Amino acid sequence: MQITSPVRPPLVTGGKTYHDVTADVCRPVESAPSKAWIAALGFALMLLGFGLYCVYRLVWDGIGMWGLNKTIGWSWDITNFVWWIGIGHAGTLISAILLLFRQKWRTSINRAAEAMTIFAVISAAMFPVLHMGRPWVGYWPLPLPNTFGSLWVNFNSPLLWDVFAISTYFTVSLVFWYLGLVPDFATIRDRATSKFRQIFYGMLSMGWDGAAKTWSRYEAVALVLAGVSAPLVLSVHTIVSMDFATSLIPGWHTTIFPPYFVSGAIFSGFAMVLTLMLITRVVFRLEDYITIEHIESMNKIIVLTGSIVGIAYISELFIAWYSGVPYESYCFLNRATGPYWWAYAMMMSCNVITPQLFWLRFVRRNIVITFILSIIVNIGMWFERFVIICTSLHRDYLPSSWAYFKPTMYDVGVYLFSFGVFFTLFFLFTKFFPVINMSELKAVLKSSSGSSNSQSNKRA
């Protein structure tokens, strides 16, 4: 039996038994959809519909529909790409790295966070493909033989590394998530009353029976998957940052980028997990499973990674001055005081200043403040990527090519489209899949629930 500190607060409140866990988590799956859920899905589909029109115009007429110009070739598109990819990182961090560190509080939130990862990666991957301008030749970055007698792709290019990193990340996350879902699908299958539900969840559960031998293998697989996912998630954002860091643009050409991007990714990802979970726990009445302790733990990670990001900003400024490189110094001075000063101010205040409130215990444990701050962090992290990408590009070496970026309706529309994709998938997930990992939660229930619903606890 596992030993837990008696001073540590319980992870599951309300004295839940194993059967209560099953009943509470399966309830949304088994009952008719609520009005709030239908309204939410309708809103997501509306975003999707409007976004789809913008994507159609963009693909038909070309990426000139965006506000890009000759100087600023990367703007909202790549900003959105990096932002979504970053958001995805929290899911893998929760499922893999916190598993290796034996953080039991992850069990209540890992399922939803991993789902968020997968949907965020889908939203992210859309942007580079659309930015190609000709998405139907989107397979060109793959090392395939071609009509020139196999002129291969350039393996020196970080953009190509990104193709491999993101497709591997997506595949491994999807497999890890699905494997975790299999035992829970079996639970739903065995509770099912309708024939359709039995067949549907029966196929999804792949004939899972919960045999001790299978569980023993399953745990070995989960541990190794966590072991390979942990360096994988770090590598993905490292490679994304290399898209910038290996170029010669002042403001991008920085060795600090990999750790700075990874901590920024975890920072924004946890903020997004909080935003989603604070709503989910209320809508699906899961307050006993996603408790204030979980929220506080996530807030602690936010204040840690937010402070790392803050130190990275300050280091960048210091090095720009200390290196004595005029281009680098000018770039950072221009970021803070040039035409995009307002974006820089947004980034600094949302990412560095307001998250520091989480040093206060009552702020970490206040749901309303946490919710507002989590949205502020997400806004701040979007502006961070915009500042890095756009302000580094807009003043080219020759003043005659200086430009300013103004978004068009299609910049906004495609961004809304990515939200539409993300939320449609997320809402479908919350309705048809178990949002909490039941089997993992049951495994830690006894040692962490503080309840005495079992014989062994009474004896002990």
Partner 1 sequence: MASGKKFLVGVFDDESVLIDAIGKIRNSGVKIFEVYTPFPVHGLDSALGYKPSNLPVAAFLFGLVGTITALTMEIGMMGFDWPMIIGGKPFIPLPDFIPITFELTVLFSALGMVFTFLIISDLNPFKLPLMFDKRSTDDKFVMAIDIESNHSRSNEETITSLLRENGASEVNSKTFE
For 360-368, the CB contacts below 8 A with 24+ separation are 361/296, 363/299, 364/295, 364/296, 364/299, 364/300, 364/303, 365/292, 365/295, 365/296, 367/278, 367/292, 367/295
Residue tagged 């792709």 (tokens): 153
Does position 142 interact with partner 1 (CB under 8 A)? The reply is no
| Residues within window 231-260 making contact with partner 1, judged by CB under 8 A | 231-232, 235, 239, 242
- Could you tell me the sign of the dihedral formed by the alpha carbons of 40, 45, 50, 52, in that order? positive
Q: Which stretch binds partner 1 (CB under 8 A): 79-87, 164-172, 255-263, 279-287?
A: 164-172
Residue choice 79, 80, 92, 187 for contact with partner 1 (CB under 8 A): 187
Q: Which two tokens stand for residue 221?
A: 């697989």
Helix axes 212-245, 76-92, angle to 10 degrees: 150
State the nearest-atom distance from the C-beta of 318 to partner 1, in Å: 28
Site size with partner 1, rule: CB under 8 A:
70
Block residue for tokens 């030993």: 3
**Cα–Cα dist 52/341, whole Å:** 33
Residue 398 binds to partner 1 (criterion: CB under 8 A): no
Nearer to partner 1, 187 or 334 (CB): 187
Q: Does 201 bind partner 1 (CB under 8 A)?
A: no
Which two three-digit tokens encode residue 68? 């890009």
143 part of the interface to partner 1, by CB under 8 A: yes
Asked if residue 209 binds partner 1 (CB under 8 A), the reply is yes
Q: Which is nearer to partner 1, 43 or 164 (CB)?
A: 164
CA dist 456 → 3, 13, 387, 444, 459 (Å): 14, 19, 57, 14, 5
Question: Are the C-beta atoms of 68 and 75 separated by less than 8 Å?
Answer: yes
Asked if 164 touches partner 1 (CB under 8 A), the answer is: yes
Site for partner 1 (CB under 8 A): which residue of 38, 39, 137, 175?
Answer: 175
**Contact with partner 1 (CB under 8 A) among 59, 160, 363, 367:** 160
Q: Which range touches partner 1 (CB under 8 A), out of 58-66, 87-95, 382-390, 440-448?
A: 440-448
CB of 369 closer than 8 Å to CB of 400: no
Query: Binding residues for partner 1, per CB under 8 A?
Result: 1-2, 17-19, 22, 143, 150-156, 158, 160-161, 164-165, 168, 171-172, 175-176, 179, 182-183, 186-187, 189-191, 202-221, 223-225, 228-229, 231-232, 235, 239, 242, 438-440, 442-443, 454-456
